Amino acid sequence: METCKICQHECEQEKDICSNCRELIKKLDFKTFNEERKWIEELFVSRFNNFLLIFSLIVTAGFANNFNNWKSIVFYFGSLLLFFCWLPLIRAYHKYDHGVRILLTTKDFKDERNQIEIMQRLYERRKNNMFKTFTMSKWLAYYIPIACIVFLIAVGLGITFCVIK
Ligand SMILES: [Zn+2]
C-alpha cells in the first residue's frame, strides 16, 4: 500500500497522490497556485538565509569571547538554538516540496493546460537518471543545516576535551 505524497494517508493503486488530494488539486487554478508556490519559495529561502546568519553569529560569538573556561557552552547552546531554527526551515521545505511536486506533475488546472509543460518534461527526464532523488532544496533543508549543527557540537566537544584551544 502506497501513502499519499501530500496528506500521508493510504492511497489506492500505485498512485503518488490519493483521490481526495487529486480532487482538491483539480479545483486549483494555475495562477493562484503559482503565486502561492512563489510565496512559499520565498519563505523557504528566507528561513535558510536566517539559519545561516544565526550560524555565523554563533561561530563568531564562540570564537571571539573572553570566557576562557566557558567557551564550549556557547557552542553547545548555539547548536541547540540552531536546532530550533532548523525546525521552521524543515516545515517550509515540505510546503515548498509539495507545491513544486503538484506544479510539476499536474497536467492541467481547471481544464486548462499547465503552463509550465516544458518544466514537466525536464522533470520527467530527471526521474529516469541516477540523480532522481537529488534536489538542491534538500541540500538547503537537510544537509547544510546538519553540517552546521554537527560543526558546532564538534567544536564544543573539541574545546571540552582540550583538542581546540
Ligand atoms: Zn492525499
Q: Nearest to residue 30, comparing CAs of 109, 107, 119, 96?
A: 109
Mean pLDDT for the stretch of residues 80-96:
95
Q: How far is the CA of 127 from the centre of ligand 1 (A)?
A: 21
Domain assignment present for 95: yes
For residue 61, what pLDDT is reported?
92
In a domain, 15, yes or no: no
Q: Look at residue 125 and tell me if it is in a domain.
A: yes
Which pLDDT does position 79 carry in this prediction? 97
**Does some domain include residue 23?**
no
Q: Which three cell numbers stand for residue 157?
A: 566537544
pLDDT digit string, tens, across residues 24-38 = 888 888 888 889 999
**CA 100 – ligand 1 centroid, Å:** 16
Q: If you measure from the C-alpha of residue 91 to the centroid of ligand 1, how many angstroms do you get, rounded to a whole number? A: 18
Q: What is the grid cell recorded at 14? A: 500505485
Residue 3 falls inside a structural domain: no
Decide if pLDDT at 142 tops 80: yes
Residue 15 or 138, more confident: 138
Quote the ligand 1 centre to 13 CA distance (angstroms): 13
Residue 10 falls inside a structural domain: no
Q: What is the pTM of this model?
A: 0.83
Confidence of residue 14 (pLDDT cuts 50, 70, 90): low
Q: What average pLDDT is seen over the chain?
A: 88
Assess whether pLDDT exceeds 80 at residue 11.
no
Ligand 1 centroid, distance to 18 Cα (angstroms): 4
Compute the distance from residue 21 Cα to the ligand 1 centre, in Å: 4
**80 CA distance to ligand 1 centroid (A)?**
34
Query: For residue 141, which phi and psi values (nearest 5 degrees)?
Result: -85, -35
Angle (CA) 33-38-42 rounded to 5° is 145
Greater pLDDT, 107 or 156: 156
- Residue 97's domain comprises 29-160
Distance CA(72)–CA(1), nearest Å, equals 48
Ligand 1 centroid – CA 122 distance (Å): 25
> Is residue 12 a part of any domain in this protein?
no
Point out the least confidently predicted range of 28-32, 76-80, 155-159.
28-32
152 located within any domain: yes
Domain count for the chain: 1
